[in-house]
A and B are shown apart, each in its own frame.
Chain A
């Protein structure tokens, strides 16, 4: 689906991406992991054609990225953005039309999604009158409304309460089931671990690891386990031989 080949992106002062190559398979859920500043957002911006790489190329279904791919990608940026003073319905229609949808189509699909997200009746509300979580829902709708083949979600669960995070997660999985390829970008591994088929790990502008989730788990097994113990202090003895690696004690329970 997406082939990222030898991407280099240089900003004044530092290199954001250094010879990064990644393959993302059709219809899979892909996790782009790494700490803040690793180069995730730079890479996502390149896939979205917001910026261009200094060298290297990105192919979508074997074709070099171009204008025609814009309408086939949906992007939920980490820093969510909506016009504060614009009515929600109008805003959704505007973004959908920018992605190439006709106004009538956009309206029909927006109705469907508004019901699904349980936000019917917000159509004429202004963004500034909504809570942050509600704004996130609106933003999510505007990301998926044009039924993109590729969904790029940058930290999609931040800002949601657990109930709505679950709702969004299920919607994403459903879209994936219908054939959409998903890219999750996050610095919180545990939030996507269970969802991803494969991952790539970026650190300091380099790709340091990638592959199928299952393989990575198996290959990186060292037989080391973290054991959490509750109770009185343990002392190794001749009958119970072990070494304590870390002996953090927490008072009052876990």
Chain B
């Protein structure tokens, strides 16, 4: 036990003392915020950054002339010529699109030199439908004032009723937290897991392992390395969380007292329909929403979420890093690892994609529940579910499975590791590895 502690110490200190650790600790949050902020900023300011698209409208119905509103980077102009003439002249016109609206309003066509983007088509469709609807209602004898009144949007506020009372559901905040924590778990499992692998390879290649194995058991060396690097990760997360809590508290006090709605951005928010951009938009519109988010953070159990995150990071990491250590012990250099990497990264990538596209919308579906139970997928899937509320028994069961999965994986990995680290120059195949597993001692 004393020796494993020495190994943990060395693995931990040799990494924490590096300059790159300090740089990572402060740079990653900045980069993270930068990437999300930039993404959100670009989405919010598409009109400025996107390329202008000009649409020449040939309107044979007479319903749309000068009524289509420019916006979303689309500018409409109206043709006085016939459709055939416009079509013939289109290639040289310099316009992006040619929109043909027949009198019947069926079979509307959009021509362009390059393929039209799906978003543009959607925008034009919405605009056309909108104008057509208004026009039809006016024809039916409804006056403009009435129409404006009828068109007034209704917003829905999501509230949760639980045994302890009711509260704001804060769906968007749950989205954001689920999304970010799943992403963080995914990244950190890969980053720290491959650090373990590289550490094992380093010891094997430099033959340090033979010196150490004559003093400690291979299992102690493997666990010492895994725990040491895990603590590095934990330190980094605790620093990140502390930093961001300080920052957000500071931001909170600043914005809660200063919540003036910014109408322009509010208007843009309505156009956003896809969930991915919605999250980005929630994050990027700080002027009017930051205060709300800060208030709503109170409604999300922060400590509970952080504890869950640290638990799933730690055990998810230990589970995966045991497999990473196994791979490291089986190869002679880093380039050889590739054939073994796919089976490790596949479940991770798979879970992340399913989580971001399915679990986040259906956190209580049976697929989501299953994914959050299986040890290899649960760290990511469960973190995606937790902000939406998970029954205690599911959380307990998932945690239990994860710990059991970790124990089993470590046992298997260590049996292979102890043989692999002493094998030089032998090309490891899956068959060979199974053989190593069966060796007695």
A residues at B contact (CB < 8 Å): 12, 45, 48-52, 54, 70, 73, 75, 77, 79-86, 94-95, 97-99, 139, 142
Contact = CB atoms under 8 A, between A and B. Distances in A.
Contacts of A51: 422, 441
B6 A98 contact: yes
Contact of B210 (A81, A84, A94): A81
Given A12-B435, A81-B206, A95 B211 contact: yes
A50 B214 contact: yes
B214 A81 contact: no
Contact of A98 (B206, B209, B212, B440): B212
17 contacts: A48-B213, A51-B422, A51-B441, A52-B440, A54-B440, A70-B215, A73-B214, A75-B214, A77-B214, A81-B211, A82-B208, A84-B202, A95-B212, A97-B6, A98-B212, A98-B215, A98-B216
Contact of B211 (A45, A70, A75, A97): A75
B207 A49 contact: no
A214 to B, nearest CB: 32
A98 B3 contact: yes
Nearest to B212: A98
B91 to A, nearest CB: 63
B4 to A, nearest CB: 10
B435 to A, nearest CB: 5
A81 to B, nearest CB: 3
Contacts of A83: 14, 202-203, 206, 208
B10 interface: yes
Interface in B403-441: 422, 424, 432, 435, 440-441
Nearest to B18: A85
Given A52-B440, A95-B211, 13 more contacts: A45-B422, A48-B214, A50-B213, A51-B422, A75-B210, A77-B207, A81-B203, A81-B208, A82-B206, A83-B202, A83-B208, A98-B7, A99-B215
B440 A142 contact: no
Most chain A beta carbons < 10 A, residue from B6, B211, B422:
B211
Given A12-B435, A52-B440, A52-B441, A81 B209 contact: yes
Interface bracket on B:
20 to 34
B203 to A, nearest CB: 8
Contacts, number: 62
Contacts of A139: 211
B119 to A, nearest CB: 50
Interface in B292-331: none
Interface of B: 3, 6-7, 10, 14, 202-203, 206-216, 422, 424, 432, 435, 440-441
Contact of B206 (A73, A75, A84): A84
Contacts of B6: 94, 97-98
Contact of B215 (A12, A81, A95): A95
Contacts of B440: 52, 54
Contacts of A97: 6
A81 B206 CA distance: 5
B424 to A, nearest CB: 8
A166 B215 CA distance: 28
A181 to B, nearest CB: 16
A219 B37 CA distance: 86
B206 A49 contact: no
B114 to A, nearest CB: 52
Contacts of B424: 79
Contacts of A48: 213-214
A80 B209 CA distance: 10
Contacts of B3: 98
A86 B206 CA distance: 12
A133 B92 CA distance: 76
B214 A49 contact: yes
Contacts of A50: 210, 213-214, 422
Contacts of A99: 215
Contact of B14 (A70, A75, A82, A86): A86
A153 B312 CA distance: 46
B208 to A, nearest CB: 4
A79 B207 contact: yes
Nearest to B216: A98
Contacts of A75: 210-211, 214
A197 to B, nearest CB: 24
A200 B422 CA distance: 25
Most chain B beta carbons < 10 A, residue from A50, A80, A86:
A50
Contacts of B212: 95, 98
